[in-house]
Amino acid sequence: MMSEIGAIEPLLEIEGLCVNIASRRGNVAAVRNVSLSVAPGEILGVVGESGSGKSVTALAVIGILPAAACVAQGRVRFAGRALDLTGRHGGDRDGLAIIFQNPRAALNPIRPVGRQLVDALRVHSSLSMGQATARAVELLKQVRIREPVRRFWSYPFELSGGMCQRVMIAIALACEPRLLIADEPTTGLDVTTQKAIIDLIVALAARRGMATVLITHDLALAGERCSRLAVMQGGQVVEIGATAEVLSRPREPYTRSLIAATPRADQGARPPESRTLGGLVPKPLLLVEGLCRDYRLRNAGGTAARAWARLSHPGEARRIDIVRAVDKVTFRLSAGESVGLVGESGSGKSTLAALIVRLIDPSAGSILFRGKDIGAIRARDAARAPHRREIQMVFQDPSASLNPRHTAFAAIAEPIRRLGPLAGNRQLDIVVRELAEMVELAPALLTRLPHQLSGGEKARVGIARAIALRPSLLVLDEPTASLDVRVQAVILDLLAKLRSEFELTYLFVSHDLAVVRRICDRVLVMRAGCIVESGMTEQLLSAPTHPYTKELVAAIPHAVVSREHCHTAPTG
């Protein structure tokens, strides 16, 4: 392990960097006096929530800041050379490379990926067209893309997210980097793909002696892979040091709250025990049997359809004009339980949630709620059905699930107006304020529109709306996925509190096993429309039986965290 104060010359040295961004509200200091250094061959993790300035720092180092941003102060030295920080078109950065979040968008959509790779190669070397093409295929092989010669001619839309990121890494390698900046390289990718990509980056770094800066909001990921950690908040580096040191003996309160908030798959907060009638198996609140949902593809036989079929069902011969999103799913929920529904993208978990909540109709199978078949009532008639009040949903994206023209008050009041026994405006006012208090939403915020609220505040409005009618079953579709990690922790605590207070039953849909662990007693694992495994959370996480579950569990980053950590109350 490299010592910070050792005699080795740092490869990258950032000193007192300040970057301002001109916005509608005036100049904002996005990066304030940031100093970092990276030694040759080491992996530095830069961790922070949104708005911490970590990405802007990376863009400044590479020299591709957007027009609205400019470097106010500071120096950056790379391999002993001072870098010019004023340009907008990254030049004179030999040895530096960067990969971004959302890899498909980062590739030219109308140019074959191989040609883009060749473009990069010909900038950084004097290869001829033919030589560059051969080298490009070789690079594709190095990033573990199967059938590299065929994939050379693929367009980004024909590749999965993981494959696009591999192409991006290949492009980065074409620049012969001594330092690779990876800006949230796995955010948005499936959990299993995330692990594969990080493994690839680490392997390449080791083989080439390449230093890496891993920028991420996931503290567990950074903790697992990086030898040194820098924690950023509000444009400043709050704490920096060896990973083990920072995670076990954090000095700053912000670092401590970040550590406390990060969901862990092997330790940390656990949901309170569900009340079961000791020994007796309670009659199920929800019984789902043989549930299926098919979608007809409009362009069956087209390139996209075939590509999809191949990607989602490798090696299987399937009717490509019908997609079976939910495939003979059977499970039960007992009153008072909190059950997690875990799967990657395309697993069908969101479709299953929509079916249970009766937004869409099943193609086959039954949904029995308190013994009554609610699947028989068509979705478009469900608005006035008796079960409407009993089953409600908390949506994933709080911004998209609130009507942009309704105030928070109107949003929370609406279910009561539509379905609740209405006792006049004054009563309504009291009830809405009570609900706001329950979800810890300040009453002054009730008159605001969604775009005037923060992510956490919007999430609270969505939760208040969902519990307004005291439903029995609450389906939560990734309710915290778009929130910062500390806000997420607070909202999860809130959800746990509400469940015990109102004896709600939860079906918690998520791709993140660590989050599910925090709030669910039982877990159902879904893949390609089927439930492959189910069991008690602790049991499933420590000893999974199905190979896919094992893959999922193995993919969760395991960072070594301190046993005692203060539970500071962060804002949200």
Task: Give whichever of 274 and 480 is closer to other proteins, judged by the CB atom.
Answer: 480
Q: Hey, which residues between 30 and 69 contact other proteins (CB under 8 A)?
A: 62, 64, 66-67
Q: Alpha-carbon distance 350 to 438, whole Å? A: 27
Task: For the sheet with 96-99, list strands across it.
Answer: 96-99, 179-183, 211-216, 43-48, 228-233, 236-242
CB of 420 to other proteins, least distance (A): 9
Residue 88 DSSP label: S
CB of 447 to other proteins, least distance (A): 13
Q: Alpha-carbon distance 404 to 448, whole Å? A: 10
Q: Hey, which residues between 139 and 168 contact other proteins (CB under 8 A)?
A: 155, 157-158, 168
* 3-state helix vs strand vs coil in the chain, percent to 5: 35, 25, 40
Position among 5, 7, 110, 444 found at the interface with other proteins (CB under 8 A): 110
Task: Give whichever of 119 and 294 is closer to other proteins, judged by the CB atom.
Answer: 119
Task: Give whichever of 37 and 116 is closer to other proteins, judged by the CB atom.
Answer: 116
Per-residue buried b or exposed e for 176-192, using 16+ beta carbons within 10 Å of the residue's own CB = ebbbbbbbbbbeebbbe
Tokens 């190979």: give the residue. 547
Nearest C-alpha neighbor of 534 from the set 342, 373, 256: 342
Task: Give whichever of 259 and 438 is closer to other proteins, judged by the CB atom.
Answer: 438
Q: Alpha-carbon distance 427 to 71, whole Å? A: 55
Task: Give whichever of 395 and 508 is closer to other proteins, judged by the CB atom.
Answer: 395
Residue 279 DSSP label: T
Q: Alpha-carbon distance 452 to 454, whole Å? A: 7
| Interaction mask 395-414, other proteins, x per CB under 8 A | xxx--xxxxxx--------x
CB of 377 to other proteins, least distance (A): 13
**226 part of the interface to other proteins, by CB under 8 A:** no
Name residues whose C-beta falls within 8 Å of residue 542's C-beta, 6 or more positions apart in sequence. 266
Q: Alpha-carbon distance 229 to 215, whole Å? A: 10
CB of 301 to other proteins, least distance (A): 9
Residues, the chain: 572
Question: Total binding residues for other proteins by CB under 8 A?
Answer: 65
Position among 109, 278, 279, 314 found at the interface with other proteins (CB under 8 A): 109
Q: Alpha-carbon distance 15 to 77, whole Å? A: 8
Identify which range of 4-12, 13-21, 89-97, 251-259 contacts other proteins by CB under 8 A. Answer: 89-97
**102 part of the interface to other proteins, by CB under 8 A:** yes
Position among 81, 283, 378, 418 found at the interface with other proteins (CB under 8 A): 418
Centre a 10 Å sphere on the Cβ of residue 173 and count the other Cβ atoms it contains: 22
CB of 488 to other proteins, least distance (A): 18
CA distances from 370 to 358, 381, 390 (A): 15, 19, 10
Task: For the sheet with 505-510, list strands across it.
Answer: 391-394, 473-477, 505-510, 338-342, 522-527, 530-536
Q: Hey, which residues between 259 and 288 contact other proteins (CB under 8 A)?
A: none
Task: Give whichever of 244 and 320 is closer to other proteins, judged by the CB atom.
Answer: 320
Identify which range of 128-136, 193-201, 326-334, 378-386 contacts other proteins by CB under 8 A. Answer: 378-386
**111 part of the interface to other proteins, by CB under 8 A:** yes
**107 part of the interface to other proteins, by CB under 8 A:** yes
CB of 170 to other proteins, least distance (A): 12
CB of 226 to other proteins, least distance (A): 22
Cβ atoms of 255 and 231 closer than 8 Å = yes
CA distances from 498 to 297, 460, 504 (A): 41, 12, 8
Q: Alpha-carbon distance 214 to 185, whole Å? A: 8
**484 part of the interface to other proteins, by CB under 8 A:** no
**349 part of the interface to other proteins, by CB under 8 A:** no
- Long-range pairs for 378-384 at CB < 8 Å and ≥24 separation? 382/358
CB of 67 to other proteins, least distance (A): 7
**195 part of the interface to other proteins, by CB under 8 A:** no
**449 part of the interface to other proteins, by CB under 8 A:** yes
Task: Give whichever of 74 and 415 is closer to other proteins, judged by the CB atom.
Answer: 415
Position among 54, 55, 76, 93 found at the interface with other proteins (CB under 8 A): 93
**541 part of the interface to other proteins, by CB under 8 A:** no
Q: Alpha-carbon distance 234 to 97, whole Å? A: 25
Position among 23, 50, 125, 299 found at the interface with other proteins (CB under 8 A): 299
Centre a 10 Å sphere on the Cβ of residue 29 and count the other Cβ atoms it contains: 15
Tokens 């040759």: give the residue. 40
Residues within the interface to other proteins (CB under 8 A): 62, 64, 66-67, 88-91, 93, 97-98, 100, 102, 105-111, 119-120, 123-124, 155, 157-158, 168, 171, 174-175, 299, 302-304, 307, 354, 357, 359, 380-384, 388-389, 392-393, 395-397, 400-405, 414-415, 418-419, 449, 451, 462, 465
